[in-house]
Amino acid sequence: IDSLLHQMMRELLTTPDEHQAIIIRSYLRILLAELGRRLPSKALQMSGLVGDFINAVEVHHHRLYNIQDYQQKLGVTEKQLASSVREALGMTPKTYLDERRLLEAKRYLSYSDLSIKEVAFALNFDEPTNFNKFFRRHTGTTPQAFRLSQRS
């Protein structure tokens, strides 16, 4: 599982191309199958929900950052989604969304020439200062410092 996650993260951090989405979905399917082998039967019943959540995040992460949007899209309660995701992934749905958003931020900062302000708006932050706070809270560094470290 660690190897799969490492490969998937490496793929996510590469420059996007027309095959990347297919590759990521394939890694996710393999990861879910591996998790399915290792989870108790109750978790297996819920793994469909977790897979649907992961796929929904992958498809809609550019515009949906609210857990309630995903609950509504999947037709489940907050408790159902939270317990299923926590059981399968070991984190809350909010943490998963934040990590996905952070990954996208790192990709923009590493591979694009967009300004920090443009990155903030591309990730649907109301204000660049909110993006700076989010990024610093999750990484311990500013977006500008991260960008400089990636380009040196």
Q: Could you state, in chain order, the average pLDDT of each consecutive group of 10 residues for the chain (152 residues)?
A: 81 83 85 74 62 90 86 94 91 94 93 95 94 97 95 80
> Cα-flanking dihedrals φ and ψ of residue 38, to 5°?
-100, -15
What is the spatial distance between Cα 116 and Cα 120, in angstroms, rounded to a whole number?
6
Within this chain, do residues 86 and 106 fall inside the same structural domain, yes or no? Answer: no
Tell me what pLDDT residue 46 has: 46
Q: Which residue among 68, 90, 112 closes a domain?
A: 90
Nearest to 63 by CA among 92, 93, 97, 96: 97
Within this chain, do residues 50 and 11 fall inside the same structural domain, yes or no? Answer: yes
Within this chain, do residues 84 and 28 fall inside the same structural domain, yes or no? Answer: yes
Within this chain, do residues 56 and 76 fall inside the same structural domain, yes or no? Answer: yes
Within this chain, do residues 64 and 116 fall inside the same structural domain, yes or no? Answer: no
What is the spatial distance between Cα 33 and Cα 38, in angstroms, rounded to a whole number?
9
Specify the number of domains making up the chain: 2
Within this chain, do residues 117 and 64 fall inside the same structural domain, yes or no? Answer: no
Tell me what pLDDT residue 7 has: 85
Residue carrying structure tokens 């990347």: 20
Does residue 131 belong to any structural domain of this protein?
yes
The answer to whether the CB of 50 falls within 8 A of the CB of 70 is no
The answer to whether the CB of 31 falls within 8 A of the CB of 8 is yes
Token pair belonging to 32: 């879910």
Does residue 97 belong to any structural domain of this protein?
no
